[in-house]
Structure 1
Amino acid sequence: MINRCILQIALLLCFSTTALSMSYNSLQIQLWHGSLTCAKLLLQLNGTTEDCLNERINFKVPKEIKEPQQLQKEDTTLVIFEMLNNIFDIFRKNFSSTGWNETLVENLLGETHLQIHHLKSKINKKVTLESIRMNLRLKSYYWRIMDYLETKQYSNCAWKIVQLEIFRNFSFIIMLIDYL
């Protein structure tokens, strides 16, 4: 009787580990495809940056974005989630001065929102001091981007610089997804 219970528990653990692994694989595929779609949409937003290059600034990307090998899977999903949420918030701002196709921006917002939805169930609810610090560094980074847009009064050049920075974000997101 006890052996049967032990066998059932062992099988349950094996299946739950396999299911969790398959769940992360599925999430990885969904996020990877969505991030590539977002990056392509960003490239489709017209405009050149040659006349705006003198306005570029270093927004100081947090190390968590550039060095995913230091993160656990749960923390990686949190970083991606926070990045997508902030990107979504940025592109909901006043971009009327850009002349961008509103449908492309709406598609970008829709794809970003879909990725956020996929990540919600995978976010680690356990709050640690390190996850709080990481979240604060990410929020500070995106605050600098928003502050730049506001300081430049949402000018066409400011949006082009931010567009490049967000495109760079999606390359980091793809790197983080590969780490999953």
Structure 2
Amino acid sequence: MVQTYLLMAGLMLCSNLVCSPGWGRPWDPDLENREIPLLLRQLQRVPSQNCLKDRTDFKFPWKRGKSIQIPMREATCFYHEMLGHIFNLFGTEESQAAWDHSPLDELLSSLYLRLDPLELACVHDLCCPSVAIEVRKYFQRITSYLKEKKYSACAWEVVRVEAEVSSFIINDIKAKSASKEES
């Protein structure tokens, strides 16, 4: 009898707060879509306008400003690949040296929470090899840029802004693909 109550209490607790992606906040898909860009914005240490001369075109895999609608499977692969590479980029030693640890740790934790369930949906390059190749090339350009600029504060700021904008775009692609699947 006591075991039944404990099981029910655990299920209620899990469905409300503790097991939600926000750890202590009820799950909100709109918040989830905004959280990564907001966390990236919190990393800002140098005013972006001070780094205008350092800007570059990293050649994002899809044209910005176009309405992008791709099949859900490819959108999931793209979302997974982008989040994985953002996680890897901001998890480096160079990144640890560039940013305040508290917001960086929060960003990495949030990325990890989103990546973990996606591992089941798509095993890296196996689902969509062409998507994986394009995203990998994009992040190689970003990494080369950082090395070329010797990981300067402005170089990191340019990359942070690029990641922030990219995260908005990948959320948009994911949302449009999901709504297309539903209709």
Choose which of 23, 27, 38 in structure 1 pairs with 2:36: 38
User: Taking structure 1 as reference, are residues 148 and 125 closer, same or farther at Cα in structure 2, changes over 3 Å only?
Assistant: closer
Task: Please state which structure has a larger fraction of its residues in helix.
Answer: 1
Count of matched residue pairs: 149
Report the counterpart of residue 55 of structure 1 in structure 2. 54
Q: Which runs of 5+ in 1 are unaligned?
A: 1-28
User: Taking structure 1 as reference, are residues 126 and 164 closer, same or farther at Cα in structure 2, changes over 3 Å only?
Assistant: closer
Report the counterpart of residue 148 of structure 1 in structure 2. 145
> In 2, are the aligned partners of 1:75 and 1:124 still within 8 Å (CA)?
no
User: Residues 18-74 of structure 1: CA distance to partner in whole angstroms, max 9, x if unpaired?
Assistant: xxxxxxxxxxx77653341111111112320222111100000112886531x2111
> In 1, are the aligned partners of 2:46 and 2:154 still within 8 Å (CA)?
no
Report the counterpart of residue 84 of structure 2 in structure 1. 85
| Identity percentage of aligned residues | 26
| Distance across 1 between alignment mates of 2:74 and 2:141 | 22
When the two chains are superposed, the root-mean-square deviation of aligned CA atoms in Å is: 2.6
| Distance across 2 between alignment mates of 1:119 and 1:30 | 18
Equivalent positions of 1:135-174 (< 5 A) are 135-174=132-171
Q: Which runs of 5+ in 2 are unaligned?
A: 1-26, 179-183
Equivalent positions of 1:113-132 (< 5 A) are 113-123=112-122, 127=126, 131-132=128-129
Q: Normalised by the size of structure 2, how large is the TM-score?
A: 0.72
